[in-house]
């Protein structure tokens, strides 16, 4: 499903972030098929924000794939349960061995509850490392094959890669400009709406490792921690979003009663 030209703007379908207060400021969501960088320092809730969108879309019946390269599937799921997500509302599929993938695929159907498929490459990597020490090059292909297989065979319109930064450690790109270009093209050709999580240095000096990702991506969402007196606040902003009239202001990001909220900020509180 490659990109196509639409007749008018109402034909642009969008995927909600399910962040109250932010979706309304990006014309309802991210255009389908976009590749979006979600950039932030450690602990800024990057994984939670991406999971949140996949979860709500799965509740509404859409399948989503979450590939975790560092955090184990159990750790991710426990975090989400602790945050209050009711996982009985989705069909949770945890894949920890690539060989399982084929069998599990039959259980992933369209219609009814959507499947939230978590592929834990960290565990798979540990198993493979003992057998093969020179697997660097093939990791990118392993990930591409998983995405393609699940997207084509099970019908999976949403994808999260957690994280791009971990992929760089695994795959050691020799020519990032070219290799990254092909990854972005691969995702666009599939037409899969993708969130690529990117770790930001603490000083917030860049959104991505090579900075080419900023130009290749259709959208950039950034989350930062800022201190106000002795309080630490999370702030979210949409730096860019192609095909979207978006509000680039900085919003405070809060998670309350099981719901992400972006509160309109951008102004210093009155002292």
Q: State the residues that interact with ligand ATP by CB under 6 A.
A: 40, 42-48, 79, 82-83, 255
Binding residue for Mg ion (CB under 5 A) from 25, 39, 44, 47?
47
Question: How far is Cα 141 from Cα 182, in angstroms, rounded to an integer?
Answer: 12
Q: Which does residue 83 bind out of Mg ion, ligand ATP, none, counting CB within 5 to 8 angstroms by kind?
A: ligand ATP
Q: How far is the CB of 161 from ligand ATP (least distance, A)?
A: 12
For the beta sheet containing 35-40, the strands, ordered from the edge strand earlier in sequence to the opposite edge, are 19-20, 259-264, 251-256, 231-241, 219-228, 35-40, 193-199, 158-162, 64-68, 115-120, 91-95
Q: Quick check: 39 binds Mg ion (CB under 5 A)?
A: no
Our CB check for ligand ATP shows the closer of 66 and 154 to be: 66
Q: Quick check: 53 binds Mg ion (CB under 5 A)?
A: no
Our CB check for ligand ATP shows the closer of 173 and 255 to be: 255
Q: How far is the CB of 188 from ligand ATP (least distance, A)?
A: 25
Q: Which does residue 48 bind out of Mg ion, ligand ATP, none, counting CB within 5 to 8 angstroms by kind?
A: ligand ATP
Our CB check for Mg ion shows the closer of 47 and 198 to be: 47
Our CB check for ligand ATP shows the closer of 66 and 184 to be: 66
| Nearest CA among 79, 94, 91 for reference residue 55 | 91
Asked if 206 and 200 count as a contact pair (C-beta separation under 8 A), the reply is yes
Q: Quick check: 193 binds Mg ion (CB under 5 A)?
A: no
Asked if 159 and 67 count as a contact pair (C-beta separation under 8 A), the reply is yes
Choose the binding region for Mg ion from 40-48, 165-173, 187-195, 250-258 (rule: CB under 5 A).
40-48
Our CB check for Mg ion shows the closer of 79 and 113 to be: 79
Beta strands in the chain (DSSP E): 14-15, 19-20, 30-31, 35-40, 64-68, 91-95, 115-120, 158-162, 193-199, 219-228, 231-241, 251-256, 259-264
Question: How far is Cα 94 from Cα 66, in angstroms, rounded to an integer?
Answer: 10
Between residue 133 and residue 192, which ones bind Mg ion under the rule CB under 5 A?
none
- For residue 179, give both structure tokens: 């290799």
Q: Which residues bind Mg ion (CB under 5 A)?
A: 47
């Amino acid at each position: 499903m490659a990109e196509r030209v639409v007749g008018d703007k109402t034909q642009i379908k969008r995927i909600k972030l399910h962040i109250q207060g932010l979706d309304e400021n990006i014309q309802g969501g991210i255009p389908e098929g976009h590749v979006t960088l979600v950039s932030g320092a450690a602990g800024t809730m990057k994984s939670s924000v991406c999971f949140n969108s996949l979860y709500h879309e799965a509740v509404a019946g859409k399948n989503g794939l979450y590939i975790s390269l560092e955090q184990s599937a159990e750790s991710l799921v426990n975090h989400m349960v602790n945050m209050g997500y009711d996982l009985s509302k989705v069909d949770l599929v945890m894949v920890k061995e690539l060989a399982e993938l084929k069998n599990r695929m039959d259980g992933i159907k369209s219609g009814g509850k959507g499947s939230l498929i978590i592929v834990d490459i960290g565990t798979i990597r540990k198993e493979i490392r003992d057998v093969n020490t020179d697997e660097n090059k093939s990791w990118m292909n392993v990930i591409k094959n998983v995405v393609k297989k699940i997207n084509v065979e099970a019908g999976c319109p949403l994808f999260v890669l957690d994280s791009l930064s971990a992929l760089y450690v695994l795959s050691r790109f020799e020519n990032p400009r070219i290799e990254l270009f092909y990854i972005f093209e691969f995702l666009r050709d599939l037409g899969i709406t993708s969130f690529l999580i990117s770790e930001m240095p603490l000083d917030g000096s860049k959104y991505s490792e090579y900075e080419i990702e900023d130009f290749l991506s259709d959208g950039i969402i950034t989350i930062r921690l800022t201190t106000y007196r002795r309080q630490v606040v999370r702030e979210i902003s949409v730096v860019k979003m192609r095909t979207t009239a978006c509000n680039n202001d900085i919003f405070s990001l809060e998670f309350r009663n099981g719901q992400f909220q972006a509160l309109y900020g951008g102004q210093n509180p009155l002292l």
